[in-house]
Chains A and B, each alone.
Chain A
Amino acid sequence: MGWQRKILVVDLTKGEAKAEPLNMDWAFQYLGERGLATKYLSEMMDPKADPMGPDNVLIFATGPLTGTMASTSGRYAVVTKGPLTGAIACSNSGGKFGAELKFAGYDLLIVKGKAKKPVYLHIIDDQVEILPADGIWGQTVWKTEELLKSKHQNPLLKVASIGEAGEKGVLYACVVNDLHRAAGRSGVGAVMGSKNLKAVAVHGSKGVRVKDPKRFMGAVKAAKEVLANSTGRKELTEYGTNAMIDVMQQFGGLPTNNFQKVQFDGTEKINAKAMMTPNAHGHRNLVTNKACFGCTIACGRIAHIDKEHFTVVNRKEYWLASGGLEYETAYAFGPVVGVADIDALTFAGYMMNEHGMDPISFGATLAAAMELYEMGAIKKDETDGIELRFGNAEALTVMAEKTGKGEGFGKILGLGSKRLCEKYGHPELFMGVKGQEFAGYDSRALQGMGLGYATSNRGACHLKHDVFAEDMEDQTGKGKAVPVKKSQDKVAMIDSTGLCLFVTAGWGLEDFQTQVDAACEGEWSVERLLETGERVWNAERIFNNNAGFTAKDDSLPERLLKVPAPSGTAKGKVSELGKMLPEYYEARGWSKDGRPTNETITRLGL
C-alpha cells in the first residue's frame, strides 16, 4: 500500500494506452517517484538515444506518499533524458496534478514514441483517451487548462501541459501544472513537445490507502507538529523562499552579472520585504501565500503587477494575480541579469509560467547573452533592437516573452547558455555544468554547493544535495565530500517518497521513516531509506555513464575555478573542486574516471 500498484503505459506511435501492474520488486528497491522512474527509464530506453527523438521515454511519477495526508504530499517528478544536458533529467513539481494522477489509480504514467499529430491525454480513472490537440496546440499553458476544462465540462480536471516553448523546442522548456507549478529544469517540456504531446488532463476518484492507517495518521500528525513548530517552516510560510536573497547578498554568494560579481546593488528592491511593502502608488506586489497539495508550509507566493508598470500598462490580461517570485526566479531575473525592478521580475515570471520555460536557465542564458553583447560579440542588429545590457529591465521582459513564443532573438536564447556561448565563440562564458545553468549560489562562496553542482546527475542543480549549513560554517572545501555524498543520498530518498524537500526545514530522517514505514509494505528503517537514496543516485549515474558522461564532465567553469570572488565573505577565494572531487569519488565507491565500481554496484544491488 502507499503504492497504487498500477502504471499506465502510453505508446504515442501506436496510439495505445494500457495499464500494467507496477513492478513491486523495483518499488521495494527504488521506493517511488524519482527513484522508481529512474529504474523504469533505465530499463526502457537506450541512454544514448536522441532526447528529442521518439526513442526517448517520458515518465510522470508519483511516490508512495503522494496523495496522502503527509505534509507536502503533492509531489510528482518528470523523468526522461534531458535535451539541455543529454543526461538523465528529473524535475519535480508540486501543485495538485501529481496527487490527482495517483487518485486516478496510477503510480507512474509512462509515455513512449511520438504521435503523428499533436495530441493530449484525457484520463478519468480507468478511462484513458489519446485525443487530438486541435485548437489547443499553439496555445499557452494558461489557455490550455481553460480550454480543456471547458471542452470536457469538468472543472475538477488537473492539467499538466507545455506552452509554445515546449512545442517549439526551447531546450529548457518545462512542464507546467496547475498554472504556476512546474517540473522546471533540464527541458522535460521540450521532450513532451517532441512527442507531440500537449497536455495530460486527469481526474481521479480512487483515493490512496496506506498499510497501517492508524499508525500512519499518528505519524503524520506528529510530523506535522514538528514542522509547524520549526523556525525554518515559519520563515518559509511568512516570507517564501525569497528570504534567501538577503542571506546570499550578505554572504557574497549571489551570482550577479553572469557571475562576474557575487553581490548585487539592489536586493532591497526585489527581496521578500520589497514584495510585501507597498510602492509609491500604494501597490503591494504580494497578494497572498499558497500551498501545493497537502502542504502545511505554503511557501508559494501569489503576486500581481502594478497596473502602471510599463510591462502591463496596456495589457489588461496581465493585471491578474498569479505565481509570484521565489528565490530562484528573483535571482534569475534579478542579480544575474542585473535587474532590480520587482514588477519586471514578476512579469518575467508570468512569461515563464504562461509559455512554459525554466526561469533559472532562461535568466542565466540571458545573462550570458548580456555579457556577450557588452563585449561586442552579439550586435544590436541581432537582438531585435533591444539593448542587451545588464540592468535593462526591458531586455528581461521582452526577451522572456520572445523566448517563450519562439520569436526573433528569443529563438537563440532558447538554445540555453552553453550553445549560445559556443555559437558566439566564447564557451567559457557558459555558467553551468553538463549544459545546464547554475541556480542562485556561487561555488566560490559555497564550496560544497560547487561540488554538488559538479556532480549533480541532471547538470548544475542546487536541489540535489543539502550542505547549506556546512557551507555557511566553513568556506573551504575541506571535509565537504562526505556530507555532499550523504545529503545527495538523503535528497534522492526524499524525492522518491513523493514529498517536498522543503520539509527538511523541520524534519529529520526519523520523521520520514515513521511515515514511510506506516504507509508502505515492508519494513522501512532509516538505513534502508538512505540505502535506497544511494541506489537511486548510482542508478542515475550509471544512466549518465552509459550516455557517455565521464569524470571530465564533473567540472565547473574556469571563472569559478580561477577567478577569485571579488567581494563578500569569500573574497579572494576560488572553488576547490579539484581537491574535493577525488575525495567524493572515494566516498561514493567510484573509480577515478567517475564510475561506480563493481563492488559498489553489487553492494547496492544494481
Chain B
Amino acid sequence: MQKSLLIDPDKCTSCLQCEMACSFEHEGAFNPAKSRIKIFEFEHGRRAIPYTCTQCAEAWCLHACPVEALVRNQATGAVEVKEDVCVGCKVCTIACPFGTINYNQSTGKVAKCDLCGGDPQCAAACPTGAITYVDSDWTGYERMKQWAVKTDNRPQA
C-alpha cells in the first residue's frame, strides 16, 4: 500500500518540529533553512500552513530532468533525487508548479521530500497531528467521516 502525507493546517501551531526533523534526517543537523517541508504563517499567526511535495503521479520535475536524476521509488511512490546524477541545472525547479523542489547551494544539487524512505520524520515529530502518513487512496477518509456525521440527523443517544 502506498502512503501519502496528509496535511491538516487547522491543527498546525507553527512549532517547526517538522522542519527540524526533516533537516535532521537529511542533513544531520537541526536546520529549518534546509527543510523540505515549510510552514507558512499568515496574519500574525492566525493561520499556519505546512506545505511540501505531494509526489505527483505524473511528476513535472521528473519529466523535465535532462539527466534522469529524478526517479520514482516504487515502494513509497516518492520521487527521489539521485545526488550522484543531478547536475544542478535546476530545470526541475522551473517545471514544478508548486515550488516544492529547490536548489541547495551547499551541495550544488536539488532537494525535495523523499518521504524519508517510507517513514516520514515530519509526521513522526508533529505534536498536533497536523501531519500524518496515511493510505494514499484514502487521504480524504477523515474529512468524509466528519461530513458524514453531519448527515446523521437522528436523535443521539
Contact = CB atoms under 8 A, between A and B. Distances in A.
Interface residues of B, number: 26
B155 interface: no
Given A291-B15, A294-B17, A68 B30 contact: yes
Contacts of A323: 44-45
A294 B28 contact: no
Contacts of B29: 206-209
B58 interface: no
B1 interface: no
Contacts of B28: 209, 213
Interface stretch (A282-290, A338-346, A388-396): A282-290
A205 B33 CA distance: 5
Interface in A163-181: 179-180
Between B13, B34, B43, the greatest number of chain A beta carbons within 10 A of the residue's beta carbon is seen for B13
Contacts of B17: 69, 294, 296
B127 interface: yes
Interface stretch (B18-26, B132-140, B143-151): B18-26
Given A207-B23, A288-B46, A302-B46, A293 B31 contact: no
Nearest to B42: A321
B20 A294 contact: yes
Interface of B: 13-17, 20-21, 23-24, 27-34, 43-46, 48, 106, 125, 127-128
A217 B124 CA distance: 12
B23 A320 contact: no
A302 B42 CA distance: 12
B6 to A, nearest CB: 20
Given A203-B33, A296-B127, A321 B44 contact: yes
Contacts of B13: 289-291, 295, 298
Q: Residue among B28, B32, B106 with the most chain A CB within 10 A?
A: B32
Given A96-B16, A291-B13, 8 more contacts: A156-B33, A205-B31, A205-B33, A205-B106, A228-B127, A300-B45, A320-B44, A323-B45
A293 B127 contact: no
A213 B31 CA distance: 14
Nearest to A68: B30
A179 B30 contact: no
Interface of A: 67-69, 71, 96, 99, 103, 156, 179-180, 203-209, 213, 217, 224, 228, 287-296, 298, 300, 302, 304, 320-323
B62 to A, nearest CB: 27
Contacts of B32: 99, 103
B82 to A, nearest CB: 24
A158 to B, nearest CB: 11
B15 A103 contact: no
5 contacts: A69-B30, A208-B29, A289-B13, A294-B15, A302-B44
A214 B29 CA distance: 12
A103 B35 CA distance: 13
Nearest to A301: B45
Nearest to B45: A290
B34 A205 contact: yes
B137 to A, nearest CB: 30
Nearest to A298: B13
Contacts of A96: 16
Nearest to A304: B46
B31 A69 contact: no
Contacts of B34: 205, 207
Contacts of A205: 31, 33-34, 106
A206 B44 contact: no
B20 A206 contact: no
Contacts of A71: 127
B31 A321 contact: no
A294 B33 contact: no
B83 to A, nearest CB: 18
A408 B123 CA distance: 53
B10 to A, nearest CB: 8
A294 B30 CA distance: 11
Contacts of A290: 13-14, 45, 48
A207 B14 contact: no
Contacts of B14: 290-291
A339 B27 CA distance: 52
Contacts of B45: 179-180, 288, 290, 300, 302, 321-323
A213 to B, nearest CB: 7
Among B24, B27, B30, chain A packs the most CB atoms within 10 A around the CB of B30
A322 B46 CA distance: 7
B43 A321 contact: yes
B33 A67 contact: no
A592 B145 CA distance: 69
Contacts of A204: 33
Contacts of B23: 207
A180 B27 CA distance: 31
Contacts of B44: 179-180, 302, 320-323
A105 B128 CA distance: 30
Contacts of A320: 43-44, 46
Nearest to A66: B30
Contacts of B48: 290
Contact of B15 (A287, A296, A304): A296
